[in-house]
Homo-oligomer: A and B are copies of this chain.
Amino acid sequence: MSTQKPSIPKGTRDFGPEKMAKRNYIFSTIKEVFTRFGFLPLETPSMENISVLTGKYGDEGDQLIFKILNSRLYEAKNKEELKAEFDKGLEKNINSDILTEKALRYDLTVPFARYVVMNRNEITFPFKRYQIQPVWRADRPQKGRYREFYQCDADIVGTDSLLCEAEIVLMVHEVFKKLKIENFALKINNRKILSGITEIIGKPGCETDFCVAIDKLDKIGIEGVLKELREKDFDEKSIELLLPILHLQGDSKEKLEAMKEILASSATGLKGIEEINAVLEKVGLLGLTTSSLEFDLTLARGLSYYTGAIFEVKAIGVQIGSISGGGRYDNLTGVFGLPGVSGVGISFGVDRIYDVMEELNLFPEEHLDSTKILLCYFDEKGQQFGLPLLTKLRAACINSEIYPDVAKIKKQLDYANKKQVTYVGIIGDEEIKAGKVAVKNMVSGEQESLTIDEIIAKLK
């Protein structure tokens, strides 16, 4: 073992105690809201069989899946076959079962669909589950984009009721209200409207190319989108028809009215408008104003499995991309052999929410769930006196420690300070003689001599 200068893989992070306290604040807030809305927890393995993942996220997504090398290849008998498969994999994406059969999950939705299909006979539908776990993407790391990051998902499957979309809108508002992120835009669109547009502009069946291009509007601007569409064989006539749609102005209601006219000849497009209107109505009955939800017909979202509503949340005033997103998928379990199960879900990007809260200074006064009292002492005798007291403190459910070494008192107090310990209990010869401890409040500096029972009464 030679000396190494250690590092962590790019795009990944360590979370020390202070960051954990903040992250746990976000997790527990989201978890509380999910539970209040009737969702129950699920966890799936970090690894999925590659066949479960590929083909679900579009070509671009497939490239970003982290694959796990099969173990003990050096023990295999079919080495020539392995070599041939490896060489083949160097031409396209390596995908041979005998080299790699498992991959890290890319999101929580596909594993959820896989779970639903495998457990369809035990599940009570509609099934409302939440799932809070990391996902991995071999993306280029940058601000707000990590290779390992947590998603917090809530999905309802087994019903196509638009009430579910409305409940998701409410839930998004509740989460961000509790986190005090007040300035955000929750956008909604519907894949059927995007389909309708492709019909209207004479490119029916080209939804995927259309959505992939439109999805980049924020990043590459309208000119960039048009360039990409032209590359995908959208002719000038389609683009001419598309332009006024992309430039539509007005509030959600006005835009929905205008789109109803524009999509008059597309049954699919009109269905999309109708669905959004129904969601808006139910959101109103649930007590939110119409401004709580913004219709944005350029919202597309890259994932190929959405078929109805799509959602996206952006924090206003922070350059970080979307902090939450989701939508309805009608066919996700179909690919696993269970057709006819419609679902809708929302995903909160905890890592970006963290960055937003950090930037806007929204975390509550830091409170590590730290030690309440640290027992300090001068010598072995002090330690011996302290140990039974420590046991009593803990028996009373008080978070407590004793400094592990005989050390200078200053060092022990420094330790307490840096760890944000509230009280120290100093044990000297006098205290031992009196059967007491000198308890000092590390914030106020107040000090008093107390018996263990008095300490417990004070700290409980």
Output the least CB separation between A350 and chain B (Å): 12
A335 at the interface (CB under 8 A from B): yes
Alpha-carbon separation in the docked complex, A92 to B71 (Å): 11
This chain: how many copies in the complex? 2
Task: List B contacts of A71 (CB < 8 A).
Answer: 63-67, 138
Closest chain B residue to A405, Cβ basis = B161
A residues 130-179 in Cβ contact with B at 8 Å = 134, 136, 138, 147-148, 156, 159, 161, 163-164, 167, 170, 174
With A68-B66, A286-B388 given, is the CB distance from A16 to B42 under 8 Å? yes
In A36-51, the 8 Å CB interface with B consists of 36-38, 40-49, 51
Minimum CB–CB distance from A174 to chain B (whole Å) comes to 8
- CB of A162, distance to nearest CB on chain B (Å): 9
> 18 A-B residue contacts at CB 8 Å?
A4-B52, A6-B49, A13-B45, A14-B44, A17-B41, A17-B129, A36-B398, A36-B400, A38-B374, A40-B419, A46-B148, A65-B71, A68-B104, A69-B69, A82-B90, A83-B83, A83-B86, A167-B404
- How many residues of A sit at the interface, in one of the four size bands? 35 or more
* Chain A residues at the B interface, C-beta cutoff of 8 Å: 1-9, 12-17, 20-21, 23-24, 35-38, 40-49, 51-52, 55-56, 63-69, 71-74, 76, 79, 82-83, 86-87, 89-94, 99-102, 104, 114-115, 117-119, 122, 124, 126, 128-129, 134, 136, 138, 147-148, 156, 159, 161, 163-164, 167, 170, 174, 282, 285-287, 334-337, 368-371, 374, 383-384, 387-388, 390-391, 394, 397-402, 404-405, 414-415, 418-419
The chain B residue with its CB closest to the CB of A83 is B87
Nearest neighbor of A80 in chain B, beta-carbon distance: B90
* Nearest-CB residue, chain B, relative to A158: B404
Using A91-B74, A286-B391, A370-B40 as known contacts, say yes or no to A48 and B9 having CB atoms under 8 A apart.
Answer: yes
A399 CA / B40 CA spacing, docked (Å): 11
Nearest B residue to A92, CB-CB: B74
The 4 tightest CB contacts between A and B, nearest first, are A12-B45, A38-B401, A17-B40, A161-B404
Q: Is the CB of B415 within 8 A of A126?
A: yes
Interchain nearest-CB distance for A110 vs B (Å): 10
Q: Tell me the complex Cα distance, A86–B17, Å.
A: 41
Return chain B residues, CB-CB under 8 Å to A400. Answer: 36, 38
The complex places the Cα of A128 from the Cα of B403 at a distance, in Å, of 11
**Quick one: closest B residue to A304, CB to CB?**
B1
Cβ of A69 and Cβ of B100 under 8 Å apart? yes
Roughly how many angstroms separate A92 CA and B99 CA in the complex, as a whole number? 15
Given contacts A73-B90, A119-B16, contact A4 B68 (CB under 8 A): no
